[in-house]
């Protein structure tokens, strides 16, 4: 029996924005919106340099700025094809494997068979945008 919905979605975790220059993007969000960097790293496996920036005084979703580390990375190809801009919407889930299994039962393809390492050691997977109204949805299980 297939599920009627994907369970265990906790909240919107972040919005991913592809940028060609990470320091310039950080400076823009800091100077124009009062953003503050709450985490920054390079994820060689994913081919990105990234920064999580928070806005406002209340805890909540953050903006993930993603810059390519190599010209053949997924983010570099995205920027080449679409230009800088929103690349994905991330949903925090309680159990990424359960959410992916439920999605597959509903006919939503995942990009990976098994979760991969994401920002700050989280587990990540993605739903195919063709199955989600043209939006790349990321699942993230914070560890």
CB atoms closer than 10 angstroms to residue 135: 11
pLDDT tens for the chain, 143 residues: list them: 556 789 999 999 999 999 999 999 999 999 999 999 999 999 999 999 999 999 998 888 999 999 999 999 999 999 999 999 999 999 999 999 999 999 999 999 999 999 999 999 999 999 999 999 999 999 999 98
Is 88 inside a domain boundary? yes
Q: Provide the 3-class DSSP secondary structure of residue 43.
A: strand
- What is the pLDDT, as a whole number, of residue 2? 56
63, part of any domain: yes
For residue 40, the domain's CATH number is: 3.10.180.10
Give the domain range for residue 134: 9-141
Do the domain assignments include residue 31? yes
Residue 4 lies in a domain: no
Residue 104 lies in a domain: yes
Inside any domain, residue 3 = no
Residue 54 lies in a domain: yes
The reply to whether 1 falls in a domain is no
Give the chain's domain count: 1
**Region class of 142: left (phi > 0), else alpha (psi between -120 and 50), else beta:** beta
d(CA 22, CA 96): 28
Query: What CA–CA distances, in Å, run from 101 to 89, 94, 121, 136?
Result: 19, 13, 21, 17
């Amino acid at each position: 029996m297939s599920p009627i919905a994907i369970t265990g979605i906790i909240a919107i975790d972040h919005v991913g924005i592809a940028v060609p220059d990470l320091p310039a993007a950080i400076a823009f969000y800091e100077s124009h919106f009062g953003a503050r960097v709450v985490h920054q790293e390079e994820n060689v496996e994913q081919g990105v340099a990234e920064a999580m920036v928070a806005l406002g005084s209340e805890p909540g979703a953050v903006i993930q700025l993603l810059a390519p580390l190599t010209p053949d990375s997924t983010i570099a190809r995205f920027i080449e094809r679409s230009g800088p801009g929103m690349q994905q919407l991330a949903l925090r889930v309680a159990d990424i494997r359960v959410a992916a299994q439920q999605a597959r039962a509903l006919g939503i393809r995942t990009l990976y068979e098994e979760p991969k390492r994401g920002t700050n050691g989280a587990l990540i997977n993605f739903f195919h945008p063709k199955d989600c109204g043209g939006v790349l949805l990321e699942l993230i299980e914070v560890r």
